[in-house]
Every structure is written in C-alpha cells, then in structure tokens.
Amino acid sequence: MYLASPDRTTFPDRKNTSASACASACRFRDWLVTKALPLWSTAGFDAGQGVFQERLEWRGQPQAAAPRRAMVQARQIYVFAHAAQLGWFPEGGRLAEIAMASLVNKFCDGAGPKWGFAFSISAENRLVAGHRDAYTHAFVLFAIAWLYRLNGDRCLIGLADQTIGFIEAALQDPAHGGLYDRTPVDDRNKRQNPHMHLLEAYLALEAAIPGRGYAERAEKLVEIFKSRLFM
C-alpha cells in the first residue's frame, strides 16, 4: 500500500473549495427562488381549494387525481413561510396562511386539531385515508412554528397546543414512551423518523414561542433516543 506524503498537493485547496461551494450554493438559491418556488406557487398550488398539489408531472402539470396528504401540505407551508421570512419569496407568506387554514378545515373532523389530522383527502375534499399519522403531526407542528415566526398569529399557538394534546393522547405510548406510527394503532413497532421530526418541531416551537413546555418535550425525546435508539 502506498501512502502519499502530506504535502500541499495531497489536500484540496481550501480557498478554492470554499469558493466552489459558495458558487454551488448561489446556483441552488437562484434555482430555488427563480424556478422552484414560482412553479409550486402556481402550477403546484390549487388556488380554488387553497391547497398545494400533491405532485407534478415532468412537464410541470399537477397530477390532479392524486390524493393530497396532510404531510405534504405541512411541508409546503414550512417552505413558503421560511422563504417569505428570508425575503426570497414574499408571496409565500400569503400562500402559507391560506394552506394552513385549509389544512385545519379540510383535514380535521370539524373539531379542529384536537382529534388530529387525517392522512389524506381527495381533490374533491373527500376522505381517502382517515388514520392519524405520527410523521404528519410532527410536520404540522413544524409548519405552525415557522408560520408563527413569520406572522405572529396567536391563533397558531392554540393550533399547536391542540395538536400536541392529540399527539400525547392518541399517538404516545403511555407505558414505554415514544410514538406509535399511527392511530388506530395496528402495529406497536416504532420508527425513528417521526421522533426525529417531532424533536425538530419542538425545537422550532421553542425558538418561535419560548417558555411553553416545548423544550421539556424535546428533552424527553432526546432521552428516548439515548435509551432506546442509540446503540
């Protein structure tokens, strides 16, 4: 085996590498601001229903018949709220607010988030999959946190509290801790991804609305990681 001597030619030039990384980041930002966000705010947004499309065809047309998942709505609300906050896409704030109202009105059973968000609905707003998914609810909280950072609407605090109440009552394992994947519970195995994103959501909520118990909930998830997931 040959080991190269540690001279200057062995290692990449940090200055050039940094410049290349910056150039790549600028190209990505330009694509995001000038291509992706405008596309998903037009072809990717059903203005009549006030929801984001589930997916687009290769030519940029929406697959209108595809069921619409609450998780996708929450993710897009986060994306457009954050983009508006950064000044990259100011119109994103309005779209995020519309989509948040639709998320509550179309994916909940009339009583708001206290009974959770259905997994998916059709383009005609009919229920497709009514189970409540842990992954989805983590992203709903994440979206609430970022939209609150943008507009400071205190109604969002109530939505967060109701959503957390549902998670703790219906998705949390009272005996062993952690989250079931879904309710009704048909499989008691647990995955790390919903826990990871719920931790992310609690940290985002703590940053946006500190002092309401979000940090303490995040700490409990970290303890579960240490005791159950990290081997």
Residue-level pLDDT at 4:
41
Q: Name the CATH code of domain 14-229 (choices 3.40.50.300, 1.10.3720.10, 1.10.540.10, 1.50.10.10).
A: 1.50.10.10
- 3-state class (DSSP) for residue 56: strand
Q: Indicate the burial class of 165 (C-beta count within 10 angstroms; 0-12, 13-18, 19 or more).
A: middle
Spatial CA neighbour of 129 closest among 113, 118, 117: 118
Report pLDDT digits (tens) over 17-66.
788 889 989 999 999 999 999 999 999 999 999 999 999 999 999 998 89
Q: How far apart are CA 107 and CA 130, in angstroms?
A: 9
Task: Specify the pLDDT at position 11.
Answer: 52
Higher pLDDT, 20 or 94: 94
**pLDDT tens for each residue of 131-141:** 999 999 999 99
CA atoms within 13 A on the CB side of 132: 25
Integer Cα distance of 221 and 198 in angstroms = 8
